[in-house]
């Protein structure tokens, strides 16, 4: 049985006042909640891990550097993330790939760093609008998987998030058939490279405009083990129904 995971990416949103959303979310959780990972901006990591103490919510960072320390102004390292009490780190989000020119090789190096610090890497992959229009989706996804994942992937140290770039923050969602096609492809690719046991055990999340209104049907798609949610993770009132839908799935 693969774990179900509801992950929230707050992106560059929220100051200390936003931590009250973690209390509100804890209070709104269903009886048997899935795994929940909230990824606030890095200045909030220490306080967020304190805020969820005693709650099933886990905390993750949105990125980490491949080096453990050094002259990298503005960056945070995997040991720093782990020191905060966080358990996860999002790597290779399309916004980092686009705006910070992160390559698959960068994501792979960061993944190794995350593992060394005991963190679970949530590795994001996804095609652009133009790539989908050109019929290149599976080629792009395959290449990103091959390039971003180091040897040593296990179901405990890695989560894959399929996030079509054109669906992020746009309100556009792929059809359920399109989601199924890509998730099946990812599952097969992982099984081919890492063996059936690991391939079948790795959690695969869908991300891109997930909301309470579409969560149930997305979670019913085979090989969708949860979601990485941006906008709708900022408020407990929006995220709790998504968590509840996953708990029911």
Distance from C-alpha of 181 to C-alpha of 173, rounded to nearest angstrom: 14
The binding track of 105-124 with respect to ligand PEP, each residue x by CB under 6 A or -, is: --------------------
Active site residue 100: no
- Interacting residues with ligand PEP between 145 and 174 (CB under 6 A): 163, 168-169
Q: What end-to-end distance do the CA atoms of the chain give, in Å?
A: 13
CA 200 to chain centre: 18
Which CB sits closer to ligand PEP, 10 or 115? 10
By CB under 6 A, tell whether 207 contacts ligand PEP: yes
In contact, 203 and 2? CB cutoff 8 Å: yes
Binding segment toward ligand PEP, per CB under 6 A, in 12-20, 196-204, 212-220, 223-231: 223-231
Q: Which of 95, 127, 163, 183 is catalytic?
A: 163
Which CB sits closer to ligand PEP, 9 or 26? 9
Distance from C-alpha of 206 to C-alpha of 225, rounded to nearest angstrom: 8
For the CA atoms of 211, 90, 148, 110, the dihedral, rounded to the nearest 10 degrees, stands at: 170
Q: Which of 88, 93, 95, 127 is catalytic?
A: 93
Binding segment toward ligand PEP, per CB under 6 A, in 142-150, 178-186, 195-203, 205-213: 205-213
Token pair, residue 222, equals: 């085979």
Q: How far is the CB of 216 from ligand PEP (least distance, A)?
A: 16
Q: Return the residue of 39, 141, 204, 228 that touches ligand PEP, per CB under 6 A.
A: 228
Q: Return the residue of 5, 6, 9, 76 that touches ligand PEP, per CB under 6 A.
A: 9
Q: Any bridge partners for residue 39, and if so which?
A: 9
Residue 61 phi, psi dihedral angles, 5° rounding: -95, 170
Q: Return the residue of 164, 209, 219, 245 that touches ligand PEP, per CB under 6 A.
A: 209
CA dist 147 → 111, 112, 143 (Å): 11, 13, 6
Q: How far is the CB of 234 from ligand PEP (least distance, A)?
A: 9
CA dist 183 → 16, 161, 162, 241 (Å): 36, 10, 8, 23
Residues making up the chain, counted from first to last: 249
Q: Return the residue of 33, 34, 40, 231 that touches ligand PEP, per CB under 6 A.
A: 231
Q: How far is the CB of 207 from ligand PEP (least distance, A)?
A: 4
What is the full DSSP assignment across 212-238?
HHHHHHHHTSTT--EEEESGGGSSHHH
Active site residue 53: no
By CB under 6 A, tell whether 37 contacts ligand PEP: no
By CB under 6 A, tell whether 229 contacts ligand PEP: yes
Q: Which residues are catalytic?
A: 93, 163
In the complex, which residues of this chain contact ligand PEP (CB under 6 A)? Answer: 9, 163, 168-169, 207-210, 228-232
């Amino acid at each position: 049985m693969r774990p179900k995971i509801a992950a929230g990416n707050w992106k560059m949103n929220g100051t200390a006042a936003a931590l009250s959303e973690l209390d509100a979310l804890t209070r709104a959780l269903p009886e048997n909640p899935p795994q929940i990972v909230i990824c606030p901006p890095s200045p909030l990591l220490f306080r967020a891990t304190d805020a969820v103490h005693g709650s099933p919510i886990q905390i993750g960072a949105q990125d980490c550097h491949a080096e453990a320390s050094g002259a990298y102004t503005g960056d945070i390292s995997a040991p720093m993330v782990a020191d905060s009490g966080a358990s996860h780190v999002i790597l290779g989000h399309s916004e980092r790939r686009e705006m910070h020119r992160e390559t698959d090789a960068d994501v792979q190096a960061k993944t190794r760093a995350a593992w060394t610090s005991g963190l679970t890497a949530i590795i994001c992959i996804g095609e652009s609008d133009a790539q989908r229009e050109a019929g290149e989706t599976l080629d792009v996804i395959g290449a990103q998987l091959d390039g971003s994942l180091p040897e040593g992937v296990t179901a405990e140290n890695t989560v894959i998030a399929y996030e079509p770039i054109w669906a992020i923050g746009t309100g556009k969602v792929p059809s359920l058939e399109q989601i199924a096609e890509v998730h099946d492809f990812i599952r097969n690719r992982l099984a081919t490279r890492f063996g059936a046991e690991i391939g079948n055990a790795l959690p695969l999340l869908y991300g891109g405009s997930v909301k309470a209104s579409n969560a149930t049907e997305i979670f019913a798609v085979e090989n969708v083990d949860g979601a990485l949610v941006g906008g709708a993770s900022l408020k407990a009132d929006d995220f709790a129904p998504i968590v509840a839908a996953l708990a029911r799935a």
